[in-house]
Structure 1
């Protein structure tokens, strides 16, 4: 934790500032217990994905970097010559049943560092999926075709999902195809490229539990925004729809008009849009539920 003493400097990222009156505050054991209780939600606990030992029961939010398992290698002996032929890398199953066997609820951040040779998948036998209330997927990795189907079907307590899709594996198509299977999701954030908003909005409208949607289209070209009216009408609990996307001056007015008309049809909806033309994103309201602060292990 950094102690900030010069408030004239520019600060980037998330900051937690606490000011205590020394004359009235007693810095005793009770004070530090309360302090830990307030700070703990901002600092996830790390664990090694390849170890099967249970995680600490003292924490609720965990993160890990999945590691590569052994590659599948078979041996052929044509013409009595021993040769080795490498077959396709099998998918790695993200199974953390043993790590979370003693936890009733789990918040999990998976950070893929781009070193996995294989793609990743899930199976219905992953019992820990039913314990997840928060899940964040970030980094470079390939997801199997049924990854998000299993995720939405088996994560029946999942409230918040953050997806930052890698360039090698777009995710919005999988989300569009399977999100209707979710019965619990409230907060959804997707960062991807070349998003088909018409398809995505139509699919999201089938998930009636959604309340907070954050979509970022990181394409270099101006994105094609569709009318979200159906989404707003079917998702009655939706209070925030926030969209980022590169936009030219010529199309800015047109896109804003689409959103303005959709907002007028839903009087209770907090609808906000940010159209940007560079790589710097401004945070929207309610972004804190996605836990985007830099990962600092406990």
Structure 2
């Protein structure tokens, strides 16, 4: 395509459809292109450095940003791990017309907002205060609140890294100008770190009697990776202080089962027809509700929201991937938890599923758990895929949950599913040997970008020797649940080779059942290798089993509730 053949307005429209890496390459290809875009106002949208090899502050030195920063409207720097206030300030002043800025999951916090947020930004995503002490610091709080008063943001996303401060964002925003869309993500594990030595004082202030009147049109509270209710959860319910008489709400919690609490007006959105799911209609959250597990709380201000058909259709669309369509193959039953059309099937008793389901969507989970009966139904026969299957051709996401496989399963999968980019595998220890053997024979056929393996006693050397054969990988998560005692002698040679070969890798996340010393011995050579290769964009994390969280894990589950079956 030759941009020079089009009027500037049309060329810019086409240019905005390209991904950011392609935009940079096109802009750098000739001086004529640069002169072409200099002819008129070239407002650029959707500039995303996140989740790619562009995810480093050095990318802002590209000519595209040096020449056209003043025309960029939306800038996503989420997860850029080398981003700090100091190295962003020399660049951010050029983005004078920026409307939307996302700097969540970086080394920048709310206390830095004055220094890094251009004056015209109306949509801001940023990490909350680093710790309660900075939140309680009157000068910090007053300064940041004044910024919110002056800017009058329309959409705000705050990321909180510790469960202990779940309630603080709403307290901080209390009394500030109305926000159209407010989102709060709680991504901490609920553990108490050393910086929370002052938690007692924080609790005293939070546990005072108070109510928070909604200063938002729409609120979304999302809590991640709280495997069990926090010991302080009853005292620190982030939404329990809201004035529910002024709200309509939906609250969904996934822990050992799925609990749904709704205002009466939302009851018709849900069609509960399977076990392990319960819907409760209530004007507000019950007093014994604890914020444990994965929780999504959504609320709408009655005074500013028109609850008409258009509104309910929009809510259903938002809930579309919260739950899959459950397909029980043993009795040909389909079950949906909402009235929304689903683009994700969860299938049990999976033998020949691709021959029996003609409308297979892009996202599929194969599981041994029957949602209809609420029981594990382990198939006796291993499954494969038909070479002649046409319905699997459009698969982009596949999750496999404790399913027996034939040796040709992965060969057929990667052959008949050319669009498959995400593979999520959860298997029990006794099956991992067969899985790795079958995967080794087929992985060279794959075009995967995202791969997750969850199992016990993982042989890292073998797993990464297999993954080395798939250089297209960008995001890899290996989660070990349990490990044979006193076995921490992990060989990192194949992991290093894997890093060398996968040049587009931006995230490597490993959970291992090891001591702190073992984790350090595993992580150190990997980070050294990334540094030697100049991979500033590569995020490498190694942590203890069940204690980690990574902002790039959302691609391995369509649902923010992390529903696996």
TM range (shorter): 0.7 to 0.9
CA distance in 2, matches of 1:135, 1:261: 33
Q: CA RMSD in A?
A: 3.0
Match of 1:22 in 2: 302
Structure 1's 245 and 2: CA in aligned 2 closer, same or farther, altered over 3 A? same
Structure 1's 6 and 238: CA in aligned 2 closer, same or farther, altered over 3 A? farther
Q: Does 1:286 align with 2:524?
A: no
Q: Does 1:163 align with 2:446?
A: no
Q: Note the alpha carbon deviations across 1:73-124, whole angstroms, 9 max, x for none.
A: xxxxxxxxxxxxxxxxxxxx4332342x245x42111111343222222231
5 Å matches for 1:1-298? 1-3=260-262, 5=285, 10-50=290-330, 58-66=341-349, 93-99=351-357, 101-102=358-359, 105-112=361-368, 113-139=376-402, 141-170=403-432, 171-183=435-447, 185-221=448-484, 222-223=487-488, 224-227=490-493, 228-264=495-531, 265-276=533-544, 280-291=546-557, 293=561, 295=563
Contact 2:523 2:542 (C-alpha < 8 Å) held by counterparts: no
Structure 1's 257 and 274: CA in aligned 2 closer, same or farther, altered over 3 A? closer
**Residue ranges of structure 2 left out of the alignment (5+ in a row):** 1-259, 263-283, 369-375
The number of residues matched between the two structures is 266
Structure 1's 96 and 262: CA in aligned 2 closer, same or farther, altered over 3 A? same
C-alpha deviation, 1:294, in angstroms: 5.1
Structure 1's 7 and 270: CA in aligned 2 closer, same or farther, altered over 3 A? farther
Structure 1's 242 and 157: CA in aligned 2 closer, same or farther, altered over 3 A? same
Structure 1's 125 and 237: CA in aligned 2 closer, same or farther, altered over 3 A? same
Stretch deviating more after TM superposition (116-125 or 38-47): 116-125
CA distance in 2, matches of 1:225, 1:94: 39
Structure 1's 47 and 54: CA in aligned 2 closer, same or farther, altered over 3 A? closer
Q: Which secondary structure state, in structure 2, belongs to the residue aligned with residue 206 of structure 1?
A: coil
Contact 1:193 1:217 (C-alpha < 8 Å) held by counterparts: yes
CA distance in 2, matches of 1:202, 1:128: 32
C-alpha deviation, 1:54, in angstroms: 9.7
C-alpha deviation, 1:26, in angstroms: 0.7
C-alpha deviation, 1:12, in angstroms: 2.6
CA distance in 2, matches of 1:10, 1:46: 27
Which has the larger helix fraction? 2
CA distance in 2, matches of 1:130, 1:231: 28
CA distance in 2, matches of 1:271, 1:7: 40
Contact 1:172 1:192 (C-alpha < 8 Å) held by counterparts: no
C-alpha deviation, 1:142, in angstroms: 2.4
CA distance in 2, matches of 1:244, 1:296: 18
Match of 2:193 in 1: none
Contact 2:423 2:450 (C-alpha < 8 Å) held by counterparts: yes
Contact 2:429 2:457 (C-alpha < 8 Å) held by counterparts: no
Contact 2:387 2:412 (C-alpha < 8 Å) held by counterparts: yes
TM-score (norm 2): 0.43
TM-score (norm 1): 0.77
C-alpha deviation, 1:188, in angstroms: 0.7
C-alpha deviation, 1:287, in angstroms: 1.2
Stretch deviating more after TM superposition (143-152 or 196-205): 196-205
CA distance in 2, matches of 1:242, 1:294: 17
Structure 1's 153 and 24: CA in aligned 2 closer, same or farther, altered over 3 A? same
Q: State the structure with more CA Rg.
A: 2
Q: Note the alpha carbon deviations across 1:223-261, whole angstroms, 9 max, x for none.
A: 515142322232222111100111124433322322221
Which has the bigger relative contact order, CA under 8 A and spacing at least 6?
1
Contact 1:166 1:192 (C-alpha < 8 Å) held by counterparts: yes
Q: Note the alpha carbon deviations across 1:155-182, whole angstroms, 9 max, x for none.
A: 2111211100123311233323321111
Q: Note the alpha carbon deviations across 1:237-293, whole angstroms, 9 max, x for none.
A: 2111100111124433322322221231342433232321xx634332211111163
